Amino acid sequence: MAPSALERHPRKPSAPARSLRPGAPTPHGGLDRLRWEEVVTHGKKPSPRGYHTANLIDNVMVLVGGSDGQQCFSDIWCLNLDSLLWSLVKVGENHRRLSHTATQVGSYLFIFGGHDGANYMQDLLLFNLVSLQYEPRQIAGKPPSIRGYHAACLADSRVFIFGGFNGIEVFDDVHVLDLAGAAYLPQVTSFHIDVE
């Protein structure tokens, strides 16, 4: 009989317990010291909400849309993580969104789908992080069907969309937007969000 995986790779004895004093190395690389804390921010703040997105862009957290359970929001807020000061972005056009995704691609947020308070959406909005405005862009190919509550990520110059829900059906499909092949990949890779 062949040896089991445990017999072939016996477990190494665990390291002796280390000091738990602050700053001392720990056997879990510091993970045993993780803790939440509330941060006090300044300025006018976004109203309470869920179903929004938050992206970390350098030292700025960009918050898009969401809902308070009564209304769907179109606002975009930036929190400077150095000064902890909130800023409301003044956009030229409004796009109400909840349960959407916002994926950073260079100097843009690619905001896909979600719900506008009345209907599920399948559009792709490009929000320019330098001008802090939406930009119209023609997108080729057949987009994913209307949906919210999906997941999106950027990998290898492609935006992947997985799953979601359209109010009736739950999806397990995957859609890909090839940025490099379609020349959608923004050329600006080094920039600063000026919100103060």
- Indicate which CATH number applies to the domain containing 103: 2.120.10.80
Nearest to 78 by CA among 139, 26, 127: 127
User: Structural domain tally of the chain?
Assistant: 1
Residue 184 lies in a domain: no
List average pLDDT for each run of 10 residues in the chain, which is 196 residues long.
43 43 60 92 98 97 98 98 97 97 95 98 96 91 95 94 98 93 57 73
pTM score: 0.80
Residue 116 lies in a domain: yes
In this predicted structure, what is the pLDDT of residue 14? 43
Residue 166 lies in a domain: yes
Helix (H/G/I), strand (E/B), else coil: 7: helix
Residue 111 lies in a domain: yes
Residue 118 lies in a domain: yes
Residue 114 lies in a domain: yes
Residue 89 lies in a domain: yes
Radius of gyration of the chain (CA): 22
In this predicted structure, what is the pLDDT of residue 137? 86
In this predicted structure, what is the pLDDT of residue 30? 77
Q: Could you give the C-alpha distances from 59 to 82, 125, 157, 178, in angstroms and in order?
A: 7, 23, 23, 28
Residue 4 lies in a domain: no
Q: What is the domain extent for residue 90?
A: 39-178
In this predicted structure, what is the pLDDT of residue 190? 65
DSSP letter at 5 equals: H
In this predicted structure, what is the pLDDT of residue 26? 57
